[in-house]
Structure 1
Amino acid sequence: MTRSARPLALALGLGALLLPAIASAQALVVCTEASPDFLNPQFSSQNTAYDVAAQVYERLTATQRGGSQIIPSLAEAWTISDDALSYTFKLRKGVKWHASKSFTPTREFNADDVLFSFNRMLDPNHPYAKVGSGNFQFFGEIVKPSLKAVEKVDDYTVRIVLTKPNAPLLSALSVEPMSILSAEYAAAMSKAGTPEQIDFAPIGTGPFSLLSYQKDAVIRFKAVPDHWTKAAGDRDRMALVNDLIFVITPDASVRFAKVRSGECQIARYPNPGDLAAMKTEPTINVLQGSIADQSFLAFNQQKKPFGDKRVREALAYATNIPAIIDAVYQGTGKPTASAVPPSLWSHDADLKPRPYDPDKAKALLKEAGYPDGFETTLWAIPVVRAYMPNGRRAAELIQADWARIGVKATIQTFEWGEYLKRGRAGEHEVGMFGYTWDYPDPSQILLTGWTCEGVATGANRARWCNKEASDALAKASTITDQAERSKLYKRFQEIFHEDVAGLLFANAQAFTPVRKEVKDYKIHFFGGQPFVGVSIGK
């Protein structure tokens, strides 16, 4: 059982949660695809956790809803030193913490909370460093390598001091793993002998508080009546419904059926095969837009025979990617050979996917010493994602392709949280994985998923370590000239493609069916999906 699987004490039965809420015009019901792997986003790299955190927590900075601009949040302003090694943040006053049956805050948000949240992840001797997962993956990959210290200047001013410039820092601070937690709540739970409660029963400053969570069933949130955005008059960041309910519905077709019947008002990650039907529904608007994504097969190079480039390249030639895109993405994806998607700067459009060529694949396998093929396991992603609409179907097509060159692949899958946990541990031989960028800078997914350092943390699912590639990524994050950074990212993409670091599937379009009574919902492409600024009307 993952940490997020522990139900809160407030959890109710599914029927008790849904019936009064759906009857209310002030409830927004969202059909979503899976349970979060963690309720504390500091431990996660997955949108299922980020979607929850986007409602409950806030960060120093934020990404504009539905856009890519970095805007103030818990920090209302900041200055950067000339050498780019010091960031000074002026914190927002009047920000209140949520309360629960086990905790009532006695003060508002201040600098102590920022120091607690950062130092828990930075200092291995911190009292909370080993509470919970202990694996602060996003922080460890993106922020920690350049972070020297977080200093309290006064109650409403903090300074982040770096050892080297970190060009995407302000963007990185907007992502859910950098959420600010309550130092007072942590102290109270530690005193009570239940420190883990800060991770199982979140207390944040966000526009919604979390009321209850029933694993694989429902998550219920309540609007915070005195959230700071109301005093600021920031309607786009206010909770405009009283209740927000996530109905966890793994089957994409069932999610569509529920939004069509009115049981849900928004359905996340729909099946591309339902797109035509959605567009004919008179009660539904279909929203669509480009996302920054990466979907791939990870060949675990720490397991034979995948450390041999000839084997990886053979399997790339043996996989009919255009056929997979036709059958699985159904008009919502385009083939790619570039590790940076076209929606982000530094995308290398000159790289082309390897063509489907079984004869060349057989020749490469023979050269590598496998003239008759070999046996392996192929993990199929168990949930619908924008970057992979149907993992099982994609795995079946790959299985059939590989059988033609003598490679027998047995398809395996697990519950989503277990799949992620086992993937981090490197249990797979060949695994289907993917990412969506959480902030508008190429560095994030590349630094998280494709460096030598990521092999040790488990973030690098392919266990691919190429020093030149890792060095290019590291250098790109320490310089501010975007043209020079772009050259380094393009060099990384060339190495990635040449070495078959992973087999890329497609760059996808996201689309979401939304009932017409829902007003001003915007697909959010970076980080978790916020449901602020959304109302319900005729």
Structure 2
Amino acid sequence: MLYLTFAGCCALSNTRAADTLPDKTIVYCSEASPAGFDPAQYTTSVEASAAAYTSYNRLVEFKRDGPGVEPGLAESWDISPDGRQYTFHLRHGVKFQTTAYFKPTRDFNADDVLFTYQRMLDPEQPFHKAYPVVFPYFRDLGLAANITNIEASDPYTVRFTLAKVDAPFLQKVAMPFTSILSREYADSLLANGNARDINQFPVGTGPFIFRSYTKDAQIRFDGNPGYWQAGIVQVRRLIFAITVDPAVRLQKLRNGECQVMSYPRPADIAGIRTDTNLQLPSQVGFNLGYLAYNTTKKPLDTLAVRRALDMTINKRAIIESVYQGGGRLATNPMPPTQWAYANNLKDAPYDAAKAKALLAEAGYPDGFELDLWAMPVQRPYNPNARLMAEMIQADWAKIGVKARIVTFEWGEYIRRARAGEHDALLIGWTGDYGDPDDWLGVLLGCDAVQGSNFAKWCYRPFDNLIKQARATTDVEARTADYLQAQAIFKDQVPFTPIAHSTVYQPLSRDITGFRIDPFGPTRFWGVGLK
């Protein structure tokens, strides 16, 4: 059988003593506490930054200097001619981290890959049964249904077999949720009845070693002196200083208490830009802030009601007040920089009179009441969810709809939203791997209604197009399917796109090597201090 082969080279570094790392500390003023450190469970950049890109690696990694993927724990891979088998050739000599709570006795090998994926794939897998958590991305992206077999032909070769072609498969296995766990560590946790500790005490092959976590306060990591790739670990210590208030984050940055901060307020951008002690790299955000309607709840299960709510939101006023020059009005369920974006779609014009008429036709001439959920933290796609909620509340009041603004702690907000407790929900997305499937499938597909499809919208004409596009590598055919799917989305209004925001990254002038990750997480790979 002929195979199409992809390979790359990343030299293994020699194991170094800890004192050979630069005796420097980077403090990152982050915006929220992670819900945990088991990357397979989570879909937000909070956990990706604090776990996946510190403690772990994946078979392949997203490139830091451009689009596409590159070798990670797999140094090369083969794809069968029919596109349904991927054979990964694993890197030799990679060490798992030694921590206060685990000392590995062997190097990374195929057993770790098999454990990582079988835990997500097989509900009868012993560790899964001992710690039965949900793996939303694995399900939402169709991997749970499409991976039919994973096998190791030797300790450094693993083959995945798919039921159908999955065009963005390599990008999917580069995502944070596929971070490779240590089977040896998992076995020790299972033997001691402590399977849940995998979410509190991470062990991986990554560039930083977990040391401690105090919720809502601090996460401490040490640089990994034995990291397998040279040039990635540039400091001896990395600290996440969890600081919810963006004004306090900026004050700490200016005072030298941290060297990197997340998500400044739009009103602070001009001042940061002129501060000679700071850097302010930025880029057009590969993101979308939106308002999801829970289509399983009355009256939001009625199309006329969703259309009335949608056409009453003054997006331009929101862009001006919430984003303050750092946002672009959104009309589609994905950003205009994504290939297969439908340029011809337009918003329904603002029309309160027509909205009232639609509500009357739907049986709500006097309006109705609903809960409007607003995020408690800044996100790259929404700098001020509370203000946005208040503006939408005022817009809807004009047509007799009374919205009660509700919020929860961030982890609880996501958990409750996945469970479908909300009526209308402010949320958003940053593209994870540069494929339309990541937007249309993950946010709107039927497989994702228990995960990141917060509209709980399962519409078969739409879903069939998404699955059809996923099952071919023909870009022209995929584009045609995605264009048609976006038209269906616009007609059915499961959510209202609000804005695409610019991402700003304030840094100390002494930070070197930092790159904004287009997919949202904050990575400290190759980042150092002068």
Global fold match (TM > 0.5): yes
Q: CA deviation at 1:66?
A: 4.8
Residue 372 of structure 2 is matched in structure 1 by: 378
Matched AA of 2:68: Q
Contact (CA 8 Å) 2:127, 2:190: kept in 1 or not?
A: no
Q: CA deviation at 1:356?
A: 2.2
Contact (CA 8 Å) 1:68, 1:526: kept in 2 or not?
A: no
Quote the Cα distance in structure 1 between the aligned partners of 2:140 and 2:406: 29
Residue 4 of structure 2 is matched in structure 1 by: none
Q: CA deviation at 1:169?
A: 0.5
CA offset digits 1:350-381 (Å, max 9, x no partner):
11222222122112111111111111110011
Quote the Cα distance in structure 2 between the aligned partners of 1:527 and 1:172: 15
For 1:345, what is the secondary structure of its paired residue? coil
CA offset digits 1:394-433 (Å, max 9, x no partner):
0010111111111111101000011011101100011111
Report the RMSD for the aligned CA atoms in angstroms: 1.3
For 1:130, what is the secondary structure of its paired residue? helix
Taking structure 1 as reference, are residues 131 and 51 closer, same or farther at Cα in structure 2, changes over 3 Å only? farther
For 2:127, what is the secondary structure of its paired residue? coil
Contact (CA 8 Å) 1:340, 1:346: kept in 2 or not?
A: no
Q: CA deviation at 1:272?
A: 1.1
Residue 392 of structure 2 is matched in structure 1 by: 398
Residue 322 of structure 1 is matched in structure 2 by: 316
Residue 121 of structure 1 is matched in structure 2 by: 120
Instruction: Establish whether residue 423 from structure 1 lines up as the match of residue 417 from structure 2.
Output: yes
Q: CA deviation at 1:503?
A: 0.6
Matched AA of 2:171: S
Quote the Cα distance in structure 1 between the aligned partners of 2:462 and 2:210: 41
Equivalent residues, number: 507
Quote the Cα distance in structure 2 between the aligned partners of 1:136 and 1:150: 18
Moved over 4 A (4+): none
Residue 36 of structure 2 is matched in structure 1 by: 38
Q: CA deviation at 1:294?
A: 2.1
| 1:467-478 equivalences in 2 (<5 Å) | 467-478=460-471
For 1:220, what is the secondary structure of its paired residue? strand
Instruction: Establish whether residue 47 from structure 1 lines up as the match of residue 40 from structure 2.
Output: no
Quote the Cα distance in structure 1 between the aligned partners of 2:130 and 2:174: 23
Quote the Cα distance in structure 2 between the aligned partners of 1:458 and 1:478: 21
Residue 147 of structure 1 is matched in structure 2 by: 147
Q: CA deviation at 1:323?
A: 0.3
Taking structure 1 as reference, are residues 132 and 248 closer, same or farther at Cα in structure 2, changes over 3 Å only? farther
CA offset digits 1:4-27 (Å, max 9, x no partner):
xxxxxxxxxxxxxxxxxxxx9611
Instruction: Establish whether residue 175 from structure 1 lines up as the match of residue 175 from structure 2.
Output: yes
Matched AA of 1:31: C
Taking structure 1 as reference, are residues 25 and 184 closer, same or farther at Cα in structure 2, changes over 3 Å only? closer
1:28 pairs, out of 26, 29, 38, with 26
Residue 508 of structure 1 is matched in structure 2 by: 501
Taking structure 1 as reference, are residues 211 and 522 closer, same or farther at Cα in structure 2, changes over 3 Å only? same
Residue 497 of structure 1 is matched in structure 2 by: 490
Quote the Cα distance in structure 2 between the aligned partners of 1:364 and 1:438: 37
Contact (CA 8 Å) 1:224, 1:239: kept in 2 or not?
A: yes
Residue 208 of structure 1 is matched in structure 2 by: 208
Instruction: Establish whether residue 224 from structure 1 lines up as the match of residue 224 from structure 2.
Output: yes
Q: CA deviation at 1:527?
A: 5.4
Quote the Cα distance in structure 1 between the aligned partners of 2:129 and 2:371: 34
Quote the Cα distance in structure 2 between the aligned partners of 1:338 and 1:82: 35
Instruction: Establish whether residue 343 from structure 1 lines up as the match of residue 341 from structure 2.
Output: no
Q: CA deviation at 1:453?
A: 2.3
2:355 pairs, out of 344, 347, 361, with 361
Taking structure 1 as reference, are residues 66 and 34 closer, same or farther at Cα in structure 2, changes over 3 Å only? farther
Quote the Cα distance in structure 1 between the aligned partners of 2:344 and 2:329: 13
Q: CA deviation at 1:435?
A: 1.1
Quote the Cα distance in structure 1 between the aligned partners of 2:132 and 2:48: 16
Quote the Cα distance in structure 1 between the aligned partners of 2:462 and 2:360: 28
Structure 1 unaligned residues grouped into runs of 5+ = 1-23
Residue 479 of structure 2 is matched in structure 1 by: 486
Contact (CA 8 Å) 1:381, 1:391: kept in 2 or not?
A: yes
2:443 pairs, out of 445, 449, 467, with 449
Quote the Cα distance in structure 1 between the aligned partners of 2:528 and 2:263: 21
Deviates more, 1:124-133 or 1:162-171: 124-133
Contact (CA 8 Å) 2:99, 2:209: kept in 1 or not?
A: no
Length-normalised TM-score, structure 1: 0.92
